[in-house]
Amino acid sequence: MRVLRWLPGRLLSALVVLLGASILIFVAIRSLPGDFSQIVLGPLSSDAAKEQLRQTLGLGKSLPEQYALWLGSAMRGDFGLSLASQRPVLDEILARLPVTAMLAAIAMIVTLLVGVPLGIAAGTHASTGRRSALTRIVSTIGISLPEFVVGSIVVFVFSRFDLGLSVGGFVSPAQDFWAGTVSLLLPALVLSIFCVAATARTTRDSVMGVLVEPHIAAAVARGESPWFIVRHHVLRNALIPVLTLTATITAYLLGGAVIVEQVFNVSGLGSYLVLALSRRDYTVIQACVLLATAVFVLASLMVDVLTGVIDPRVSVAKKGRRA
């Protein structure tokens, strides 16, 4: 299988990306104005007290020493203790991960179930103009509206009127899966608006590009039905750009979850990261950002593999570039 030939090189490059990202994350977080000792002890505390606290927490060592210790522990699955709560960071993340994962999963399902069919309908009926124009309008509005604006409107409307879904009363899916899923529907719908718009536009453009290929004209000349042509000739080629987009959407969902969780007061990784930033809780920030980076790299790797399976020409091209 051609995919297996370039997969080891792709895995190696993914590890290099993670290593480089960990360095950037570590340096960027240490460059934030203020530090944990100043926030905990206050601006009126003495320099000696601040220095003593920094030494106690291991923040008095040089940056290379701190990074080496942190990276060595992280590779063993130990992300240290939260500076604020003194609890293991991994335990804190695992307690909140199901919430953000469920939120992102629902948003991704909505994106694929709505964005892809909408883009296919617009691309296959581009000659009529109505569906294509509708898709352009919907995608433009969806891409332009920020999550905090849409989220604030949704919170106001569903708080003011009884529309079947309530705002607040969040339940963790780990405690009650069904109730937790229902409580995350509104945040997930808000989070998926941009993704649906981007997916619909990409799918539409990709379908329109495939429909002008010679093999589509040959299929029409053979008398094949339009639905058969779409299923057997268009989708396989048109969905490759959509698969590539899913890696970017994954990163967007993780970033957008920070805003949406704050608007809807959802106790997930996003709100936990915002709290850690306000506290300058370095160990928590490093672990959360590194986790988001790892998810994005893993999603990109899976998209590459799926793309190579769907279109073997991609595998050959990757092999040629590596050579």
Calpha distance 67→13 (Å, rounded): 21
Q: Residue 215 burial by CB count (10 A; 0-12/13-18/19+): exposed, middle or buried?
A: exposed
pLDDT for the residue 1 = 53
Does 126 score more than 70 pLDDT? no
Determine the pLDDT at residue 47: 67
Helix ranges (DSSP H) in the chain: 2-30, 36-41, 47-56, 63-75, 89-110, 116-124, 130-144, 147-160, 177-183, 185-211, 214-221, 226-229, 235-264, 269-279, 282-310, 312-322
Residue 322: pLDDT band (50, 70, 90) is very low
Residue linked to tokens 């779409």 = 230
Measured from the Cβ of residue 232, the count of other Cβ atoms closer than 10 Å reads 11
Q: Which residue has the higher pLDDT, 36 or 112?
A: 112
Distance CA(138)–CA(132), nearest Å, equals 10
In the numeric block, which tokens belong to residue 260? Answer: 């949406």
Residues 134-184 pLDDT 10s:
667 777 877 787 877 888 888 888 888 777 777 766 777 777 778 778 888
Say what the pLDDT of residue 320 is. Answer: 47
Range from 71-80, 111-120, 190-199, 301-310 carrying the lowest mean pLDDT: 301-310
pLDDT tens column, 81-108: 787 777 888 888 888 888 888 888 899 9
Pseudo-torsion of CA 150, 293, 107, 154, nearest 10°?
-20
Residue among 290, 299, 254, 322 nearest 20 (CA) = 290
pLDDT of res. 321: 47
Tell me the per-residue pLDDT of 180-215, one tens digit each, with 9 for 90 and over.
788 888 888 888 888 888 888 888 888 888 877 887
pLDDT digits (tens, 9 = 90+) for 35-88: 666 665 556 566 676 666 666 666 667 778 878 888 888 888 888 778 777 788
Distance CA 60, CA 43 (A): 19
Q: Is the pLDDT of residue 29 over 50?
A: yes
Q: Compute the chain's Rg from CA coordinates.
A: 24
